[in-house]
Structure 1
Amino acid sequence: MKLYLDPGHGGSDPGATGNGLQEKTITLDIAIRIRDILLSNYHNVSVRMSRTADSTKSLAQRTNEANNWDADYFLSIHCNAFNGSAYGYEDFIHNSLSDQSITARYQTIIHEEVSKVNQLRNRGKKKANFHVLRESHMPALLTENGFIDHSGDAEKLRDPSWRQNVAQGHVYGLARAFQLQLKDNTPDPSPSNFFKVIAGSFRQRNNAEERVNLLSDENTEAIIVPVTISGQQWYRVQSGAFRNRDNANARVLQLQELGIEAFIITE
């Protein structure tokens, strides 16, 4: 699999700014981590990056390079901004594509894997007419990893361990989408080993939505995960997925302080 990996912005273009952070720095850090994990742990992967330093590069240069290299996939890493009020994770494919396209299927897989680990509000899968999505000849995805001008998201963006988890989430998605094989003696990084914190389980989706909204008001991320139990539909509210159980326990305590009973699952 030939991956063209595009850290958004760079050089004279800082991208979004906020809370003492610049998008161009965050995106480069996450992209380098994605590259290093892929090359260290998986067979038959080639990665070409649009930039590996704080350099200026036009959008046309990026897509032309990917097209001329005949990449299999174009992945563009970004952060978002919107007057400090919006927060969370979202990703985009081109708006001309159907939900049944291979690009949309790849988006679904990567969206699922990144959302499992990023501890951000899930803003959903979206479509747009961005240059890198329109002009790339191969399937392409642009991910927006939090809002840099939102204090809660920025706190995570500033944390190197969080950026490592987000990079790993992208890699999980790429590995699933392209059926990448782990190198010998590389531990299986299956997300099934995560400790997931459940902050409620409801028969009615609107009740789950109320719980998510309550947590959002407290700057605590949460997503709704539909599950079928004994033939009945339930809506779990998941507030984070952690590799370290101590971190999951800390989230449970945080929720209990808000008056919300929570528990951990590892399925």
Structure 2
Amino acid sequence: MVKVFIDPGHGGVDPGAVANGLQEKEITLQLAKEIQKILLNEYENIAIKMSRTTDQTVSLNSRTALANHWNADIFLSIHINAGKGTGFESYIYSNVGKMTKKYQDIIHNTIIKQVGFKDRGKKQADFHVLRNTKMPAVLTENGFIDTLQDSDRLKDPEFIRKLARGHVFGLAKALGLKKKDHNVTNSPSSQPLYKVQIGAFKNRKNAELLAEQAVQSGYNVIIIEE
């Protein structure tokens, strides 16, 4: 089982960067959930845990401690940049092993190819989530919230899905993930798949709170809107 820890940056009282009608914490969560959904729906032998699944405050120490306790195979931290620039860049901690650098190279190059962002380079930084994780950790900065060219793209749900695909393709290549054979379920000899619904709510926030509890207990969770 490959364990992927996804860390949507900021949240709760910490909105992150704010500009052009957007908040970083909202975009990172939207992107992280899309990555989670694609991975669980389309790839085999994978478990996902997220540092947050709702708009909640989570300390940096809690994020890294949760990933370390879970013994994740990779830590992916998702952020949106600011500072009037444009494009995509990624970060790893300095003096890390070859595996982390390999993961950064693959994920970075795949995202650039998928979405066509300006390539701002593969960088190193002394960020807490990169320094205090025991597993390979990569942080992505997905466009500039305070540059109209980038923020307009980040407002487009289709672009967010495309950006999520870039992350997923990069993770799949780096970790050697195998895609599910969806044709197998149509075979007469295939085993049936049983699904369990644990709640139904009119308020999405209530659904997200229950989903978060299930995720923290180690279950894979998908919220379906009907």
TM range (shorter): 0.7 to 0.9
Q: Secondary structure at the match of 1:4?
A: strand
1:131-142 aligned within 5 A: 131-142=128-139
The equivalent of 1:96 in structure 2 is 95
How far, CA to CA, are the matches of 2:161 and 2:147 in structure 1?
A: 20
Measured in 1, the distance between the counterparts of 2:129 and 2:119 equals 23
Cα RMSD of the aligned pairs, angstroms, is: 0.9
For these two proteins, the number of residue pairs brought into alignment is 182
* Pair 1:157 & 2:154 matched: yes
Using the alignment, how far apart are the partners of 1:163 and 1:157 within structure 2?
A: 6
Cα distance in 2 between the residues matched to 1:14 and 1:182: 35
Distance in 2, matches of 1:119 and 1:18, equals: 22
Greater Rg, structure 1 or structure 2?
1
Q: Secondary structure at the match of 2:26?
A: helix
Corresponding residue to 1:169 among 161, 166, 172: 166
Structure 2 Cα separation of the partners of residues 119 and 172 of structure 1: 15
Deviation at 1:95, TM superposition (A): 1.6
Aligned: 1:31 with 2:28? no
- How far off its partner does 1:117 sit? 1.6
Q: How does 1:58-207 map to 2 (within 5 A)?
A: 58-82=59-83, 84=84, 86-97=85-96, 101-185=98-182
Specify the alignment match of 1:8 in structure 2: 9
In the alignment, which residue of structure 2 is the partner of 1:223? none
Q: Which sections of structure 2, spanning at least 5 residues, go unmatched?
A: 184-226
Identity between Structure 1 and Structure 2 (%): 52
The equivalent residue for 1:55 is 56
Separation of aligned partners in 2, 1:96 and 1:29: 31
Moved over 3 A (4+): none
Residue in 1 aligned with 2:196? none
CA distance in 2, matches of 1:111, 1:53: 26
Aligned equivalents of 1:122, 1:22: Cα separation in 2? 23
* AA aligned opposite 1:89: F
Q: What is the alpha-carbon distance in structure 1 between the residues aligned to residue 107 and residue 149 of structure 2?
A: 23
Q: Secondary structure at the match of 1:114?
A: helix
Higher RCO (C-alpha under 8 Å, 6+ residues apart): 2
TM-score (norm. length: structure 1):
0.67
